[in-house]
Amino acid sequence: MSELKLKYLGKIAGRTAIQNEITKEIYRVAIVDVEGSKHVSINNHNFFLQSTNTKKQKSETNGPMISPMPGKIIKINVSKGDKVKKGDLLLVMEAMKMEHSIKANRDGNVEDVAVKLGQQVNANAELIKIN
């Protein structure tokens, strides 16, 4: 990383102008709060400052199966106690009339089905527990 000595220049067109006093480079930053993390646009980069993705990826391999999007449960293929193999189709969700399949993230037994057919769920809601 090149040397940084940052200075606040003020606002321009809804963005915050920041200058690196060493290189003289100007960054026009748009930044907003989104549920505890920051959504940022700087020059040609857009990103979340505290990425929520790392947390999500972990739970995909260890924790319960969670909904990747807000939507409706339109099909449930398993019930409590069923043996499943990694990749088995557990349930089908729908949002914006698009179907999305939830598949088992590992081999195991279904410990709990936390949703009902027709139920509307939020993103990151617990769907099915496999032990």
Partner 1 sequence: VVIKKILIANRGEIAIRVINTCRLMGIKTVTIYSEGEEDLPHTKLSDFAVCLGTGALRETYLNISKIVKICLDQKVDAVHPGYGFLSENAEFSSSLKAAGVIFIGPTADNIKLMGDKIGSKKFAASVGVPCIPGYHGEDQSLEKLRSEAKKIGYPVLIKASAGGGGKGMKVALNDAEFSGQLDSAKREAKNSFGDDAILLEKYLTGPRHIEIQMMSDSHGNHLHFFERECSIQRRHQKIIEESPSPILTPAMREKMANCAVKITSQMNYLGAGTMEFIFQDNEFYFLEMNTRLQVEHPVTEMVTGVDLVRLQILVAQKDKIPFTQKDIKQIGHAIEVRIYAENPDADFLPTTGTIKYLGETKLSNVRLDTGYSEGNAISIQFDPMIAKLIVWDEDRTRAIAKMQMALNDYPFLGMINNVDYLKRVLGHKSFISGDTLTSFVVTHEKDLAPPIIPDEIKKVAEFAAKFMGQSNNKTSTSLWQELGSGKL
Positions in the binding site for partner 1 (CB under 8 A):
1-2, 4, 6, 8, 10-11, 13-14, 16, 18, 20, 27, 29-34, 38-49, 53, 68-71, 74-75, 92, 94-100, 123
Residue 110 CB, nearest approach to partner 1 (Å): 21
As beta bridge partners, residue 43 has none
Class of residue 102 by CB neighbours under 10 A (exposed 0-12, middle 13-18, buried 19+): buried
Report the residue number, 32 or 131, with the smaller CB distance to partner 1.
32
Question: Which lies closer to partner 1 via its Cβ, residue 116 or residue 131?
Answer: 116
The contacts of residue 67 (CB under 8 Å, 6+ apart) are 93, 102, 121, 122, 123, 124, 125, 127
Cβ nearer to partner 1, comparing 32 with 81: 32
Nearest approach in angstroms of CB 91 to partner 1 is 13
Helix (H) or strand (E) holding 75: strand 71-76
